[in-house]
Chains A and B, each alone.
Chain A
Amino acid sequence: MSNTQTIKKVENKAVKTERITGSEAIIKCLIAEGVDILYGYPGGAIMPVYDELFKYQDKIHHVLTRHEQGAAHAAQGYARISGKVGVAMATSGPGATNLITGIADAQIDSTPLVCITGQVFSHLLGSDAFQETDIVGISTPVTKWNHQITKAEDIPEVLAKAFYIAKSGRPGPVLIDITKDAQVQEFDFKYEKCTEVRSYNPVPKTNIESVKAAAKLINNAKKPLIVWGQGVILGEAEEELKAVVEKAGIPAAWTILGASALPTSHPLNVGMVGMHGNYAPNKLTNECDVLIAIGMRFDDRVTGDLKTYAKQAKVIHFDIDPAEIDKNVKTDVAVLGNSKESLALLLKELEENSHQEWHQKFKDLYKIEYEKVIKSDLLPEKEGLTMGEVLKEINTQTKGDAAIVSDVGQHQMIACRYAEFNKTKSNITSGGLGTMGFALPAAIGAKMAAPDREVVAIIGDGGYQMNIQELGTVFQQEVPVKIVVLNNEFLGMVRQWQQLFFDKRYASTEMTNPDFVTIAKGYRINAKRVTKREELADAVKDMIASKSSYFLEVCVEKEDNVFPMIPTGASVSDVRLS
């Protein structure tokens, strides 16, 4: 069935048509969707589109990454900081498969992406032609939607649908595969944006009765706890969240992707939940009487052992995705819908409260965490540099206004725990998939989408080398991104687990690293290495003052661990401080 039957036409007035090729149509569709930056890598099966792009350079800036995975992550970084759809493009076969990690990452982290891949001529499909892979089949489990186009005339409707699906409701990645013949065919082009697909209900209607039931539970609660996730940021509900938290006086904690929706300094922000989250919100999850989950999906890294998770509490779950309700944690009240609307409705029903005594419990547990963990992370007395003090210095120099793009590992947990966020959309990291190699290309995308913001990538020596080639993109595009590598010469998180759970058998986690400063300089990027505490403040200052890209390597203590920690499968109450 053609897409004509599934897409509601919004503009019935006659739209002018023009006879153009499929490739030119693709570019015109992108322009119509407001795409100004495109990340990608050319190749045989996508060459006609690149040829058209050459003509439209004034309208769309194409960023040649050094690997298609870099293109996908850059598009993610762009999307996460801007709230717009990120676009990546690649050729068929290996070009397409190289996008997959970024697509899978975007799927689990609900990032809106449109990925366009070239494909062999349609008469060659299924023949194992040169650079042919079944990318629609391969990408099916990791896309919100995907489609293969074999006729030029289908391009406008399918791309319109792609952008609509990627951005609406719970966002996600969409992949559109376009055969080479569809790229070169001519047809009568016209473009209409898609606003509805009949089988797709992106935002379920909020039921006011469920909002009232939620408000009743909250108003009667003695020890309520909010845990919010990225749904607040995706729904642009930051103000509503703040108003709810303040009116009802509820301590509010965040999941890793929820970070920055409420400023770190807010008095009711009680920190991060989950495996390496803060002591108080983890511990008190099993003491609260009402747990209010907002735009979060009870990931196993957040809940630990489900059998012991918040069993004493009534659970209220606000989410846009009905499939998340009762998926992991059984709820007492589910409020479906967009977080901005449902929190606004909730606010009206809430009574003012302060819960002083309950809040004091968080403060008391914070003091314990401070003495046992935070103090030695941020104000170490030992000789070796800690990752925490680097973050503290970055906080000082950027005054909490920077967007922090972190990779995956120990440094990521340290970055999320200690970065101070004044502004929303400031924490860009790979949450659900935990993709090493994410941060360098994602930081490129983030900085290009928000050139006025300071963008600092925090990366470990392992993840850095997974996409280190993107330094070429930094250099060629002159992206003034700041790159901090916290080098402990280990795959630190795995090493920590080996230390704690595998009797210190450090199997294949020690890294013999190259001279990172020389490599950065090879890409004409200003670079500095810091090995001593007394050099740190000036080095970070120089980095932040730099108008162009800057690479800072900080050699940190080799065998530091990240605490608190909830071991896999343990209860959130069993959070360890050492």
Chain B
Amino acid sequence: MNEEIKTLTISIYTENNIGLLNRISAIFQRRHINIESLTTSQSEIENVNRFVIVVKISETQAKKIVGQIEKQVEVIKAYYHDEHETIFTESCMFKIKSELLFEEPQIQNIIKESDTRIVTVNKQFFVLEKSGRRHEIEALRRDLSAFGIMQFVRSGRIAVTKDEMKITELLDGVKNK
């Protein structure tokens, strides 16, 4: 039973109802599964929300988790995918003292080479934003931390799958029953 632990992306299409986040997170909590990241937003379908949850678990665990998630009345459909089946990214922001931008030319090189965007600059601080894979963001953080970071924040993963998920057809099927 020593199955490989993988980084899996769980995608959940749901009704947009209060309290559902609680129900979904409780499913992970009961099984002592740590959520690496969680993003929830409107999906491509009106009034349908999408959760993107990243966890490190085995495929057997993922199958059971997805079954339990789909049991929730307001969940339309849940899936899990491994890294090869999705296109994914994260986003992050750094707040850094403005003086460093001028005093440390190395910072300007880092910004250029890492394809990082300057969101704003004022007298006290400037803000950088970058989207990318976790390791790219971590590398940037490592480079910038040598100069001092006032604030850092990273979003959860957002992901789309390479394969179609056919939620619209599923919902149409329900409507036409």
Q: How far is the CB of B79 from chain A (nearest CB, A)?
A: 14
Q: How far is the CB of A4 from chain B (nearest CB, A)?
A: 11
Q: How far is the CB of B126 from chain A (nearest CB, A)?
A: 38
User: Is A6 touching B174 in the complex (CB atoms < 8 A)?
Assistant: no
Most buried by B among A146, A165, A323, A326: A323
User: Is B67 touching A5 in the complex (CB atoms < 8 A)?
Assistant: no
A136 in contact with B19 given A196-B177, A322-B70, A323-B67 (CB within 8 Å): yes
A321: chain B residues within 8 A (beta carbon): 71
CB of B64 within 8 A of chain A? yes
Q: How far is the CB of B60 from chain A (nearest CB, A)?
A: 8
Interface size class of B (residues with CB under 8 A): 20 to 34
With the chains together, A198 CA to B16 CA distance in Å? 12
CB of A180 within 8 A of chain B? no
User: Is B64 touching A200 in the complex (CB atoms < 8 A)?
Assistant: no
With the chains together, A6 CA to B175 CA distance in Å? 10
CB of A121 within 8 A of chain B? no
Q: Which of the residues B15, B63, B175 comes within 8 Å of A1, measured between beta carbons?
A: B15
A308: chain B residues within 8 A (beta carbon): none
Q: Give residues 39-87 of B contacting A (CB, 8 Å).
A: 47, 63-64, 67-68, 70-71, 73-76
CB of B166 within 8 A of chain A? no
Q: Digitize B7-18: 1 where CB-to-A-CB distance is under 8 Å, 0 elsewhere.
A: 000000011111
Q: Digitize A134-155: 1 where CB-to-B-CB distance is under 8 Å, 0 elsewhere.
A: 0011001100111110000000
B70: chain A residues within 8 A (beta carbon): 322-323
With the chains together, A435 CA to B23 CA distance in Å? 24
Q: Give residues 102-145 of A contacting B (CB, 8 Å).
A: 136-137, 140-141, 144-145
A322: chain B residues within 8 A (beta carbon): 67, 70-71
User: Is A6 touching B22 in the complex (CB atoms < 8 A)?
Assistant: no
User: Is B22 touching A196 in the complex (CB atoms < 8 A)?
Assistant: no
Most buried by B among A148, A197, A200, A327: A200
Most buried by B among A137, A165, A199, A326: A199
CB of B119 within 8 A of chain A? no
**B76 — nearest CB in chain A belongs to which residue?**
A199
A8: chain B residues within 8 A (beta carbon): 175
User: Is B175 touching A198 in the complex (CB atoms < 8 A)?
Assistant: yes
User: Is A326 touching B26 in the complex (CB atoms < 8 A)?
Assistant: no
**B63 — nearest CB in chain A belongs to which residue?**
A326
A196 in contact with B174 given A1-B15, A144-B73, A165-B73 (CB within 8 Å): yes
Q: Number of contacting residues on A, CB 8 A?
A: 25
Q: How far is the CB of A165 from chain B (nearest CB, A)?
A: 6
B15: chain A residues within 8 A (beta carbon): 1, 6, 198-199
A144: chain B residues within 8 A (beta carbon): 73
**A202 — nearest CB in chain B belongs to which residue?**
B73
User: Is A199 touching B73 in the complex (CB atoms < 8 A)?
Assistant: yes
**B48 — nearest CB in chain A belongs to which residue?**
A199
With the chains together, A7 CA to B2 CA distance in Å? 44
With the chains together, A365 CA to B52 CA distance in Å? 54
Q: Digitize B130-174: 1 where CB-to-A-CB distance is under 8 Å, 0 elsewhere.
A: 000000000000000000000000000000000000000001001
User: Is A323 touching B17 in the complex (CB atoms < 8 A)?
Assistant: no
Q: Which of the residues B19, B64, B71 comes within 8 Å of A140, measured between beta carbons?
A: B19
Q: How far is the CB of A54 from chain B (nearest CB, A)?
A: 32
User: Is B30 touching A199 in the complex (CB atoms < 8 A)?
Assistant: no
Q: How far is the CB of B26 from chain A (nearest CB, A)?
A: 5
User: Is B74 touching A199 in the complex (CB atoms < 8 A)?
Assistant: yes
Q: Which of the residues A1, A137, A200 comes within 8 Å of B17, measured between beta carbons?
A: A1
User: Is A198 touching B171 in the complex (CB atoms < 8 A)?
Assistant: yes
With the chains together, A6 CA to B18 CA distance in Å? 14
User: Is B73 touching A140 in the complex (CB atoms < 8 A)?
Assistant: no
User: Is B67 touching A141 in the complex (CB atoms < 8 A)?
Assistant: no
With the chains together, A196 CA to B22 CA distance in Å? 24
Most buried by A among B15, B63, B68: B15
Closest 6 CB pairs of A and B: A323-B67, A199-B76, A145-B73, A198-B174, A200-B73, A1-B16
Q: Supply 10 further A-B pairs (C-beta < 8 A) apart from A199-B76, A322-B71.
A: A6-B15, A6-B74, A145-B74, A146-B19, A198-B76, A198-B171, A198-B175, A199-B73, A200-B73, A327-B67
Chain A to chain B contacts (Cβ below 8 Å), 12 pairs: A1-B16, A1-B17, A137-B22, A140-B19, A140-B26, A141-B30, A198-B76, A199-B14, A199-B73, A200-B73, A323-B67, A326-B63
